[in-house]
Amino acid sequence: MPSSKWKGSAPPNWSRPERVVDLYPLVRPLLRALPPEAAHRLTLTALAAGLAGTSRASDPPELHQRLWGLDFPNPIGIAAGFDKDARAPDALLRLGFGLVEIGTVTPRPQSGNPKPRVFRLEADGALINRMGFNSGGLDRVLERLAMRRNEDGIVGVNIGKNRDSADAVPDYTVGVRRAAPLADYLVVNVSSPNTPGLRDLQARAVLEALLRQVLAARDETGVRPPLLVKIAPDLTPEERADIAAVALATGIDGMIIANTTIARPSGLRSPQAKEAGGLSGRPLFAPSTTVLAEMYRLTAGRLPLIGVGGVASAEDAYAKIRAGASLVQLYTALVFAGPALLGGVKTGLAALLRRDGFASVAEAVGADHAVAAAISIGLSPS
């Protein structure tokens, strides 16, 4: 599909006038009164029905970026897990996301863990989920993506394994082979905490073998969309160094940092903090940004990174970019703040770039590392 994308500097339709009002303030009380998963299902249904509207403004030119031969109108994406089954990718693009990540999709349909399996930690601006890769399966997802084949906008597909598959590798190679013709980028997700054994795939030798096989599967398709690996925030320094080495040695195209955490940082105030699963949102911001910065340093800025974890403002997105992210994703903040958040993040990010003298996102990627290096050799950064 990348070949059918617009490649010019001025993608179509951005300046199309706004046609829909923001209904979120009206439906917010209803969504909050529902259990989190029911609220999510309703949100997706509304999006798929075209009730969510179109972003008010065209994206500021500083936010445009070309990566992997793809034109991103802005660097803010919706993270995996929000639209696992590709029910509303175009509605999410119309809301103003610069990229939409579908999935995680497993080869065969599976129902995931028993409900309830998502918990709001209101006082902490956080969620805990133990969904367990509930998925409509590859056939269903790819059918939907095939129907939108000629639409504009960057849509990635995040691939996982079925819970009952003893050997993970064929699940990933099948997913990659089948999704490659319909995905602008692919993600190998080895970091969900809710599928037993999944995160063990991050161990050096296992990861290297897996990535070599999925890259070969992708290359056989002839379409070669960029392939990224999504990692956990709960890694030891040795594991991080191993993953960085494997990433560079195998030639994958980038990394997404990070998935939810199994840690429970001290200071969580919500009673739901004791639930099992992956924690996302505000408490994940600092640890995931630390891992992001470390991976940028370990890969010497040679791989584009997508920063995700606790982004809830323009300042947060800018911090991810300065720490080394070329693109930024969010999920949990959207649950608490609604879709109006996105416009504010984009406008605020453009203002922060301008304030600091950056003409583009690309110029600011990893800027904190340059400052740290200048300080370490005794130069005063300008």
Ligand X SMILES: Cc1cc2nc3c(=O)[nH]c(=O)nc-3n(C[C@H](O)[C@H](O)[C@H](O)COP(=O)(O)O)c2cc1C
Positions in the binding site for ligand X (CB under 6 A): 79-81, 84, 103-104, 118, 127, 129, 131, 158, 189, 192, 230, 259-260, 280-281, 284, 308-311, 330-333
Q: How far apart are CA 253 and CA 227, in angstroms?
A: 5
Minimum CB distance to ligand X smaller for 63 or for 121: 121
Whether the CB-CB separation of 290 and 308 falls below 8 Å is answered with no
Q: What 3-state class would DSSP assign to 343?
A: helix
Nearest distance from C-beta of residue 75 to ligand X, angstroms:
14
Query: Which residue type sits at 83?
Result: D
Nearest distance from C-beta of residue 281 to ligand X, angstroms:
5
Nearest distance from C-beta of residue 84 to ligand X, angstroms:
6
Q: How far apart are CA 243 and CA 255, in angstroms?
A: 10
Q: How far apart are CA 18 and CA 56, in angstroms?
A: 5
Angle value at C-alpha 313, between 309 and 314, nearest 5 degrees: 110
Nearest distance from C-beta of residue 109 to ligand X, angstroms:
14
Of how many residues is the chain composed? 382
> Which position among 55, 192, 280, 288 bears the catalytic label?
192
The residue of the chain with the least Cβ separation from ligand X equals 81
Nearest distance from C-beta of residue 261 to ligand X, angstroms:
9
Minimum CB distance to ligand X smaller for 180 or for 358: 180
Count of Cβ atoms closer than 10 Å to residue 245 Cβ: 15
Minimum CB distance to ligand X smaller for 200 or for 219: 200
Minimum CB distance to ligand X smaller for 240 or for 358: 240
In the chain, beta strands by DSSP E: 65-67, 70-72, 76-83, 99-105, 118-121, 126-129, 154-159, 185-189, 227-231, 254-257, 278-281, 305-308, 325-330
Q: Is 192 a catalytic residue?
A: yes
Minimum CB distance to ligand X smaller for 133 or for 358: 133
Catalytic residue ranges: 192
